[in-house]
């Protein structure tokens, strides 16, 4: 069983309220992008499930990886055989791109298919929610509005198929906890889903914001600088994804040459990816 878990970007990210349980309510749009890890699941003859990770460095041991947790969560509901799982990391970690959550969700999807469990998306999404708040998104894997703590998903009728996305991860790490500490929750001035649906990306710049940028940019001026460089290269819209550290730009095909020129100028320790949006 070979699968290709994809990344996501956040289009807008409002932090609307700090809850009594210490978490924050948010309002954001998750949009899938074609930047993939590689996940292989094969039967095991041992009595324990084993995960082997290659590629980009991941800051946790295999037994604490969300992929391993996904097997245990599914097994707690529907007993399944042990497997060997091989994960090759390409999506950068700590980038606000949901790579780890996607790996976990695709593990659930793969195990469901491999063992012919017949679980529907709603059931898989409920199991995915036990792994992480944003994991259910990757079960559905289509543009969604996320509210609550990022765990309540509503399909959104939006398509950006005519655009190309550039994603750049600078060589810095942003603590999500610290990013939240630097933001004052507030009600959004403009309805995020209404703006995304009614306006073309070229008009998003002054309307759709990622509130984490207020907190992160003063700490990491190189991320702020990167965002401006992407705009200077002709992006219709540019923003940080999640709490960072990656920044993405949405480009019309007419600006492909300027985008390519920017790629040649990026520092060598920056990770970048370009793909045509498919949803």
Which of 89, 134, 169, 211 is catalytic? The answer is 134
Which of 8, 69, 169, 227 is catalytic? The answer is 8
Annotated catalytic residue 8: yes
Residue pair 160/201 in contact (Cβ under 8 Å)? The answer is: yes
- 53-61: list long-range contacts, CB under 8 Å, 24+ apart: 53/87, 53/88, 53/89, 54/86, 54/87, 54/88, 54/89, 55/87, 55/88, 55/89, 55/90, 56/89, 56/90, 56/91, 56/92, 56/93, 57/89, 57/93, 58/89, 58/93, 58/100, 59/93, 59/94
Tokens of 202: 């070229």
Query: Beta-carbon neighbour count of residue 50 at 10 Å?
Result: 15
Annotated catalytic residue 120: no
**Residue owning tokens 């460095």:** 57
Cα separation, 118 vs 64, in Å, equals 27
Cα separation, 214 vs 183, in Å, equals 7
Beta pairing partners, 15: 26
Q: Which residues are catalytic?
A: 8, 134
């Amino acid at each position: 069983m070979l699968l290709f878990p994809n990344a996501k970007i956040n289009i807008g990210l409002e932090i609307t309220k700090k809850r009594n349980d210490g978490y924050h309510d948010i309002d954001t749009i998750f949009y899938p992008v074609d930047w993939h890890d590689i996940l292989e699941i094969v039967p095991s003859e041992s009595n324990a499930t084993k995960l082997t990770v290659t590629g980009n460095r991941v800051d946790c041991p295999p037994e604490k990886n969300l992929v391993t947790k996904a097997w245990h969560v599914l097994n707690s509901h529907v007993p399944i055989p042990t497997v060997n799982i091989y994960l090759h990391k390409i999506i950068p970690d700590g980038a606000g791109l949901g790579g780890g959550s996607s790996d976990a969700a695709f593990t659930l999807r793969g195990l469901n298919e491999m063992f012919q469990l017949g679980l529907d998306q709603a059931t898989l999404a409920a199991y995915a929610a036990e792994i992480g708040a944003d994991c259910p998104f990757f079960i559905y894997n289509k543009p969604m509005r996320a509210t609550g703590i990022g765990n309540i998903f509503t399909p959104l009728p939006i398509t950006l198929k005519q655009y190309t996305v550039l994603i750049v991860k600078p060589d810095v790490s942003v603590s999500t906890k610290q990013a939240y500490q630097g933001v004052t929750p507030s009600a959004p001035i403009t309805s995020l889903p209404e703006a995304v649906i009614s306006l073309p990306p070229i008009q998003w710049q002054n309307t759709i914001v990622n509130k984490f940028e207020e907190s992160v940019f003063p700490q990491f001026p190189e991320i702020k600088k990167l965002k401006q460089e992407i705009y200077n290269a002709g992006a219709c819209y540019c923003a940080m994804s999640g709490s960072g550290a990656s920044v993405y730009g949405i480009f019309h095909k007419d600006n492909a040459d300027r985008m390519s020129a920017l790629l040649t100028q990026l520092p060598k320790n920056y990770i970048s990816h370009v793909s045509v949006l498919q949803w």
